[in-house]
Structure 1
Amino acid sequence: MAQPKRKSCHSRAAKRATHKKASMPAMSKCPRCGAVKLPHAICPSCGYYNDKEILKIEE
């Protein structure tokens, strides 16, 4: 099996690892009810997506 000829430096390893960090997902506001939701997803509070009722939410 092949072995690396030189030790990889810390900055090179950190550049690879920078994409693996955990972060908050992007959030958007529902245009219908104003609740915070994930973009391109059904609103959990009103059940609408793209001005169409997808889920029946009982209040």
Structure 2
Amino acid sequence: MGVPKRRSSKQRGRQRRAANVKLEAPALVSCPQCRAMIMPHHMCPECGYYKARKVVEMK
């Protein structure tokens, strides 16, 4: 079995972990009713529709 010859530094381990951490913009889709940008599988805050059904009455 392979054994490390030298101790790996803190920086090297942190760099390896940081490769998977990044900020991403949220995925947005347009509401089929009012064309506002919303998150998928969420009710539209503009018109109150979800999957072509009125869920909340908006003013």
TM-score, length basis structure 2:
0.69
Q: CA deviation at 1:7?
A: 1.2
Segments of 5+ residues of structure 1 without an aligned counterpart are: none
Residue equivalent to 2:32:
31
Report 1:1-59 matches (<5 A): 6-7=7-8, 10=12, 14=15, 16-58=17-59
Given the superposition, is the C-alpha separation of residues 40 and 19 from structure 1 closer, same or farther in structure 2, using an over 3 Å criterion?
A: farther
CA offset at residue 21 of structure 1? 1.0
Moved over 6 A (4+): none
Task: State the SS of the aligned residue for 1:41.
Answer: coil
Of 12-21 and 49-58, the range deviating more from structure 2: 12-21
Q: Which runs of 5+ in 2 are unaligned?
A: none
Which whole-Å CA distance do the structure 1 matches of 2:37 and 2:54 have between them?
A: 17
RMSD over aligned CA atoms reads 2.5
The one-letter code sitting in structure 2 at the alignment partner of 1:21 is: K
1:33 to partner: Cα distance = 0.6
Q: Which protein has the larger Cα radius of gyration, Structure 1 or Structure 2?
A: 2
Query: 1-side partners of 2:32 and 2:51: how far apart?
Result: 9
